[in-house]
């Protein structure tokens, strides 16, 4: 565990928090779903940095693909923009 390892760890965690904040604040629901997928992908990258590639593959498959597909299908049944 070198210092560059530590820096990458902190950077990925900060980006995860930023992506989830973007997903919360966006009014366009489709863009928010994509931001949530990016958050899930960054989380799987964090799992990979922490040397759990098994969990990283599961997180990338379920979190970034399947849940995003389900959310996009749900948005397709309603409106795209969020009301005030």
Partner 1 sequence: MSGMSKIVKTAVNILFPLTMIFGLYVIAHGHLTPGGGFQGGAIVASGCAMIVVAYGSKWVFKQIKEKRLSSFESIGAVGFIAVALLGLVFSTVFFGNFLAGSSLLFGTIPATGSTGADFNTGGVLPLMNFAVGVKVIAGLFVIVLVMAYASSVKEWDT
Q: What angle do CA 17, 41, 62 make, to 5 degrees?
A: 120
Is residue 4 at the binding interface for partner 1, with CB under 8 A as the rule? no
Is residue 31 at the binding interface for partner 1, with CB under 8 A as the rule? no
| Of 1, 3, 9, nearest in space to 43 by CA | 9
Binder of partner 1 out of 76, 81, 83, 84 (CB under 8 A): 76
Binder of partner 1 out of 5, 74, 80, 82 (CB under 8 A): 74
42 in Cβ contact with 15 (< 8 Å): yes
Binder of partner 1 out of 6, 31, 70, 80 (CB under 8 A): 70
């Amino acid at each position: 565990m070198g210092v560059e390892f530590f820096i990458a760890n902190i950077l990925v965690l900060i980006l995860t928090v930023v992506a989830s904040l973007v997903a919360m604040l966006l009014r366009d629901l489709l863009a928010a779903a994509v931001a949530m997928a990016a958050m899930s992908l960054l989380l799987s990258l964090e799992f990979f940095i922490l040397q759990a590639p098994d969990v990283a593959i599961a997180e990338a498959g379920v979190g970034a693909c399947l849940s995003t597909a389900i959310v996009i299908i749900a948005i397709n049944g309603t409106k795209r923009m969020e009301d005030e």
